[in-house]
Amino acid sequence: MDLGKYSFGVGDRFGHQGAAQLNAIIQAQAQNVNITPVWNKSHREHTIIKTVPADVRAEADAAVKALGWDKAYFVDADHIGLKNVDMFIDSSDFFTLDVADFIGQPADENDKKAFVYKYQRYVGLLNVAGIDEGLSITTEQIGKIADKFLTAVKAAGKIYRHIAAAKPQGDFITEVSMDETDQPQSPVEMLFILAAIADEGIPGRTIAPKFTGRFNKGVDYVGDVSRFSREFEEDLAVIDFAVAEFGLPQSLKLSIHSGSDKFSIYKPINAALKKFDAGLHIKTAGTTWLEELIGLASAGGDGLKTAKKVYRLALSRFDELCGPYATVIDINKDALPTPEKVDGWDSEEFANTLRHNQSCESYDHNFRQLLHVGYKIAAEMDAEYLDALEKHKDVIAQNVTENIYERHIKPIFIA
Ligand SMILES: [Zn+2]
């Protein structure tokens, strides 16, 4: 079960773009860059769209078969917890244990004491290869980190053991995710989170921290890029250190839950991966559905009509659609175009307004974010939407593949 050095979280809302996504990975292979595809879908997404985890397995298997992919691939139970893991057991072989809700629940006093005592050896100026000035660590700081994260890591341990009991062959990948929280985790926190993960006996293969800055859904990074890139490099250094110190899996790597399209940090990520000869897992699945809308719009006629209808309905249910994503979107409602205005657009205008090309004058990040969270509308349109996907599948597939390869894989892994 080799996830490989580079892996890419694909997967799409409606399960129609498996092959189009895999094609982007195959294009990378032609450039001698090997990437393992991972089809991911969260419980939240399944609930909103009314799909089940077996649908994702079926999509991945079908894509692999259709394109003759003979290398590894995975199906990720994304952001699961003890409450909902069971329904993912049969069809998944990658589990993203989401324990963000447990962050900040104070640790058991004895556990905390034992943890602080055990890691006293790191107090002072800790030398970590790849971090020039080292990490300065105090006893108080370790105590604080224990209080903030020990309960969460123990919760991850519980979920991991639950999965391991149901999959005794142990043939699955474990990711620990803490990204859906307000506060970013510093490299020092990452170090002790990894220590706790090793103590808990979790063979973590990927770890998804919350990075500094805003990772809004479907739009570019908002934050201090140079700070991000410094922390990202320090995280890579800390992971190398932790693997050696704590006996974690050699292949442990960072997982970026990008919320899609963080173009402005791709360059520093690419540079850091080269500098540290590091691996990476990145999830950017969400925008595939926007590429479907762009494809429909580009097709014109009834395709364009369907895309416009999705927008009209999404705008009329703004609060309901944005609610579940409130912390990861910034939409200026007043700046959104009226449905009447959008009805007057031709294919090009609709596609250019939605497509994530920041140098295009028509591009509108408000419009894009609303449609990004508006997939529930398409799910409710049911056959009307799915039939449109079938009818216009060629133009859509082309958009999906090109988006993943040109805008993501190339700048992150090739450049
Ligand atoms: Zn996430």
Q: How far is the CA of 403 from the centre of ligand 1 (A)?
A: 20
Centre of ligand 1 from the C-alpha of residue 27, in Å? 26
pLDDT at 165: 97
* Model confidence band, residue 12 (pLDDT cutoffs 50, 70, 90): confident
pLDDT band at 327 (very low <50, low <70, confident <90, very high): confident
**DSSP string computed for 104-138:** TSPPPHHHHHHHHHHTGGG-EEEEETTEEEEEEE-
Residue count (the chain): 415
Q: What is the distance in A from the centroid of ligand 1 to the CA of 339? A: 32
Alpha-carbon gap, residue 293 to 356, rounded angstroms: 12
- Quote the ligand 1 centre to 148 CA distance (angstroms): 19
Residue 311 and residue 370: Cα distance in Å, rounded?
8
| CB burial readout 131-169, b (16+ within 10 A) else e | beeebebeeebbeebbbbbbbbbbbbbebbebbbeeeee
Strand-pairing partners, residue 39, are: 10, 75
pLDDT of residue 273: 97
State residue 218's pLDDT score.
85
Cα–Cα distance measured from residue 117 to residue 122, given in angstroms and rounded to the nearest whole number: 10
Q: Is the pLDDT of residue 180 over 90?
A: no
Portion of the chain with pLDDT greater than 70, in percent: 100
**1 pLDDT above the threshold of 80:** no
Cα 180 to averaged position of ligand 1 atoms, centre (Å): 6
| Average pLDDT of the residues in 365-385 | 95
Q: How far is the CA of 391 from the centre of ligand 1 (A)?
A: 32
Residues 6+ apart with CB under 8 A from 367: 311, 336, 337, 353, 354
Each residue of 128-163: pLDDT tens digit?
A: 999 999 999 999 999 999 999 999 999 999 999 999
The amino acid at residue 228 is: F
- Confidence bin at 217 (pLDDT 50/70/90): confident
Q: From ligand 1's centre to the CA of 107, what distance in Å?
A: 24
Q: What is the pLDDT of residues 37-84, one digit of tens each?
A: 999 999 988 998 899 999 999 999 999 999 999 999 999 999 999 999
pLDDT confidence of residue 102: 96
> What SS3 state is found at 281?
strand
Q: Which DSSP string corresponds to 175-215?
A: EEE--SSSSPPPHHHHHHHHHHHHHTT---SEEEPPPSSB-
| pLDDT mean across residues, the chain | 95
Residue 241 in tokens: 């250190």
Confidence of residue 259 (pLDDT cuts 50, 70, 90): confident
Q: Residue 222 gets which letter from DSSP?
A: B
CA 74 to CA 95: how far, in whole Å? Answer: 10
Residue 332 has pLDDT above 80, yes or no: yes
In the reported structure, the alpha carbon of residue 388 is separated from the centroid of ligand 1 by a whole-number distance in angstroms of 30
Q: Enumerate residues 6+ apart whose C-beta is below 8 A from 411.
A: 263, 266, 267, 270
Residue 44: the pLDDT is: 86
For 94-123, write each residue's pLDDT tens digit.
999 999 999 999 999 999 999 999 999 999
**In sequence order, which residues have a C-beta less than 8 Å from that of residue 280 and are 6 or more positions away?**
5, 6, 7, 253, 254, 255, 256, 269, 273, 412, 413
C-alpha to C-alpha distance for 347 and 297, rounded to whole angstroms: 5
Q: How far is CA 103 from the centre of its chain?
A: 19
Cα of 42 from ligand 1 centre, angstroms: 9
Distance 266 CA to ligand 1 centre (A): 18
Tell me the two tokens of residue 167: 């999959």
CA distance 160 to 272: 30
Q: What is the DSSP letter of 357?
A: -
Residue 407 pLDDT = 92
Q: The pTM is what?
A: 0.94
CA of 208 to the centre of ligand 1 (A): 7
pLDDT at position 286 over 80: no
Distance 186 CA to ligand 1 centre (A): 17
Q: Residue 255 C-alpha to ligand 1 middle, in angstroms?
A: 9
